[in-house]
Structure 1
Amino acid sequence: MTLNLVGLKPRLYIEELYIPALNKSTRYNTTSLNTSIFMDLKFNRVLAMVALSYQDVNITIFYNSTGYFATIPKFDQGGKRTVRRKVVVEARTLPWEDVFEKVSGGSMVVFTVVVATRYRLERCDYEGDCSYTRPKTLIVEGDVWVDGFGEKVSSKPIRLH
């Protein structure tokens, strides 16, 4: 007899997002512009008694239909309820001057974050014999509004759906 884990998917949240090139209070020199996008992702398990194992986590940040990529290497969440991973996405070809002009004028810009991975759940029977399920695909996305300080506007974590 085993516990049926069909339909359980982990929840992903963007805890922090920071873009130094859009911080109008510290941007002085455009020749040595920091084109990195810093992000802090939170992986949340739905059931407390289920261990998770993630394959490589692929992250794409879109601005005006152009994507910028990064990968988090595979990891085990194990018995932890939440796990956080920090990632840096390089966006050298983003039209920084146009985006900076928008945020310095008081507007906000929107970036779409897409996260794709495969994960496995640990399944145990009543005798304590455990094995992992076959890999399941998880693709979630969400919009992040960024202000003139290069930070996400929402003070709450943004759940990716």
Structure 2
Amino acid sequence: MSGNGEGRCCDLCFGKCCRFIITSGFAALFLWLALRTSKPTCSIQEFYVPILNKTDHSTITRNNHSIFFDLKLDNEMKEKGVHYDNISLTFFYGPNTSLPIANYTVPGFYQGHGKKARQKLVVEAHGLPWEAAFNNVSNGPMSIFRVGLSTKVRFRIVVWYTKRRNLVVGANVEVNESGKKVIKKGIKLKSGSPECGCRLGLSLFSIVLVALL
């Protein structure tokens, strides 16, 4: 009789342990799903360099060294807001990214969950070989610019904020003889480094999987 009692006790303890492990595993999984974050998507929707428009021969256009651009910031998270520090934009001409031709700073702001923000701006370019750039779009296929973006972001989860995370992205923008970017749709600014959130997610998922097994 005592043996049967001990067996039932062991079975009961084993069942409770299994339920605890499974419950803890699912709790960890749901917690990760609730706390995981993804960085905003940054893109250049419009890009126009008037002086490279070879069909406009007016004096104003020929002396216009401005770059008009439309920056889009998309927070695709449905339950978390994003706070941006000041956003630094750097413009380059050609492959040489050591000599910027223009800089612009967008003041920091808060973006709600699932929201999109557009910044239609203009910046004055300096030190750009305009004659060579004009010849490229007139006689060649295009001129190439590069846009770099850097800032720090914090994610708002319910009523508190996460630590600041670096957001450094960039992309080449090809400009044709109309002075506009060649690609009609928005150009996504991309990072050269992998997202740390993905590695964290895989680690947490592995822990949950081991717990369930």
* SS state at 2:59 partner: coil
When you count helix as a share of all residues, which structure comes out higher? 2
- Compute the TM-score of the two structures, normalised by the length of structure 2: 0.68
TM-score (norm 1): 0.88
Q: Which runs of 5+ in 1 are unaligned?
A: 125-129
What is the percentage of aligned positions where both structures have the same residue?
37
Match of 1:136 in 2: 165
The match for 1:81 among 105, 115, 128 is 115
Question: Higher strand proportion, which one?
Answer: 1
- Segment of structure 1 superposing worse, 64-73 or 30-39: 30-39
Structure 1 residue 30 displacement after superposition: 7.7
Match of 1:5 among 21, 24, 36: 36
Is 1:20 aligned to residue 50 of structure 2?
yes
Relative distance call for 1:82 and 1:30 in structure 2 (3 A) is closer
Aligned length: 155
Correspondence for 1:145: 174
Query: Could you tell me whether the CA contact under 8 Å between 1:10 and 1:43 is conserved in 2?
Result: yes
2:137 aligned with 1:103, yes or no?
yes
- Letter of the 1:137 partner, please give it: N
Q: Distance in 2 between matches of 1:101 and 1:134?
A: 47
Which deviations, in whole Å up to 9, do the C-alpha atoms of 1:77-119 show, x marking residues without a partner? 1235211112222113211111111112242011111100111
Work out which of the two has the higher radius of gyration on C-alpha atoms and give 1 or 2.
2
Q: Is the 8 A contact 1:57 1:71 kept in 2?
A: yes
**What amino acid is the match of 2:86?**
D
Give the 3 Å change call, closer, same or farther, for CA 4–143 of structure 1 in structure 2: same
> RMSD in angstroms over aligned alpha carbons?
1.9
Residues of 2 paired with 1:86 and 1:56: CA distance?
16
- Give the equivalent residue in structure 2 for 1:71: 105
Q: Does structure 1 conserve the Cα–Cα contact (< 8 Å) formed by 2:41 and 2:74?
A: yes
Gaps of 5+ in 2: 1-30, 191-213
Residue 58 to residue 34, structure 1, CA distance change in 2 (3 Å) = same
SS in 2 for 1:25: coil
The answer for the alignment partner of 2:186 in structure 1 is 157
Structure 1 runs of 4+ off > 3 angstroms?
none
